[in-house]
């Protein structure tokens, strides 16, 4: 188990699923955990309520979190059934706004870990939409953005995660002078309250994926990897996207390029 004694770690999405499990695991590793969620997160050392779809709430939360943070785990997220506007707000614009609002107050050597997804694997094919989303600073511009780029509810989830993967890579050295790094973790299907929402949207494609998987992931499969990325032992891992998916990334990639 990672040793995180003396470290203070902020976990968004700490009220449920992967975020709740990560908060518990980090505490077991000795960290002090600040849970950030729109719903109460029992079991964390300090809880701060935030609506990650609202820039005002995000700035207030960043102020309340304050300084002295050693790691930020951006885990809160919405499934595609919640609609394109909300999905892009919470999964990318809100995540970025919180990270940027906190960045000046991180401790040197801090680690930022973003929960992306296997759904982000198509980023090389989506450069124009990703660049335009990264250029969007006004949360209220999302409806126009979705219209211009033909982003419907189902597509919005993939796009949010593709953008998160690219944004993570682009931030590999943003705070290198302070030893601060950013990485992301990409799980395959994990058994949490939002899994049914994914399956509803993905339909036949999800059924195909499930046929080749021996089992679903659990939050406990993902939490230790997030904790490792928070720890000083992972200091040279920067701008990486690490799959945690029972082999699905390897499966899809080898099939895509004809290595059957």
Are 65 and 110 in contact by the 8 Å Cβ rule? The answer is no
Rank residues 5 and 211 by Cβ distance to ligand NAI and give the closer one: 211
Rank residues 191 and 233 by Cβ distance to ligand NAI and give the closer one: 191
DSSP H or E stretch at residue 46: strand 46-49
Site string for ligand NAI, 112-131 (x = CB under 6 A): ---x-x--------------
Q: Segment 150-189, which members bind ligand NAI (CB under 6 A)? A: 187, 189
Are 102 and 70 in contact by the 8 Å Cβ rule? The answer is no
Active site residues: 157
> CA dist 104 to 24, 107, 131, 172, 250, Å?
27, 9, 24, 16, 37
- Helices 17-28, 219-230: inter-axial angle, 10-degree rounding: 50
CB of 258 to ligand NAI, least distance (A): 26
CB of 2 to ligand NAI, least distance (A): 20
CB of 17 to ligand NAI, least distance (A): 2
Helix, strand, coil percentages (3-state) for the chain, rounded to 5, are: 50, 15, 30
Q: Segment 183-212, which members bind ligand NAI (CB under 6 A)? A: 187, 189-190, 192-195, 198
44 binds ligand NAI (CB under 6 A): no
Looking only at the bridges linking them, the beta strands covering 69-74 and 241-244 are: unpaired
Rank residues 11 and 146 by Cβ distance to ligand NAI and give the closer one: 11
Looking only at the bridges linking them, the beta strands covering 69-74 and 106-115 are: parallel
241 binds ligand NAI (CB under 6 A): no
Residue labelled with tokens 């200091």:
235
Rank residues 31 and 184 by Cβ distance to ligand NAI and give the closer one: 184
Contact residues: ligand NAI, CB under 6 A: 13, 15-19, 37-39, 50-53, 75-78, 90, 115, 117, 187, 189-190, 192-195, 198
């Amino acid at each position: 188990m990672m040793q995180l004694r003396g470290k203070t770690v902020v976990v968004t999405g700490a009220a449920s699923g992967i975020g709740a499990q990560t908060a518990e695991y980090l505490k077991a590793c000795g960290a002090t955990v600040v849970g950030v969620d729109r719903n109460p997160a029992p079991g964390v050392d300090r809880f701060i309520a935030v609506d990650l779809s609202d820039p005002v709430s995000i700035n207030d939360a960043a102020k309340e979190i304050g300084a002295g943070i050693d790691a930020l785990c951006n885990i809160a997220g919405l499934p595609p059934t919640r609609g394109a506007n909300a999905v892009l707000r919470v999964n990318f614009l809100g995540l970025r706004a919180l990270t940027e609002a906190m960045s000046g107050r991180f401790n040197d050597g801090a680690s930022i870990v973003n929960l992306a997804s296997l759904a982000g694997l198509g980023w090389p094919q989506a450069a124009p939409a990703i660049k335009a989303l990264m250029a969007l600073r006004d949360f209220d511009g999302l409806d126009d953005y979705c219209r211009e780029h033909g982003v419907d509810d189902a597509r919005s989830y993939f796009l949010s995660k593709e953008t998160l993967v690219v944004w993570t890579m682009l931030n590999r050295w943003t705070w290198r002078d302070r030893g601060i790094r950013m990485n992301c973790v990409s799980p395959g299907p994990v058994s949490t309250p939002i899994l049914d929402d994914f399956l509803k949207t993905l339909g036949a494609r999800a059924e195909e994926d499930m046929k080749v998987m021996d089992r679903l992931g659990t939050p406990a499969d993902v939490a230790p990897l997030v904790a490792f990325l928070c720890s000083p032992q992972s200091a040279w891992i920067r701008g990486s996207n690490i799959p945690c998916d029972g082999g699905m990334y390897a499966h899809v990639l080898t099939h895509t390029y004809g290595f059957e």
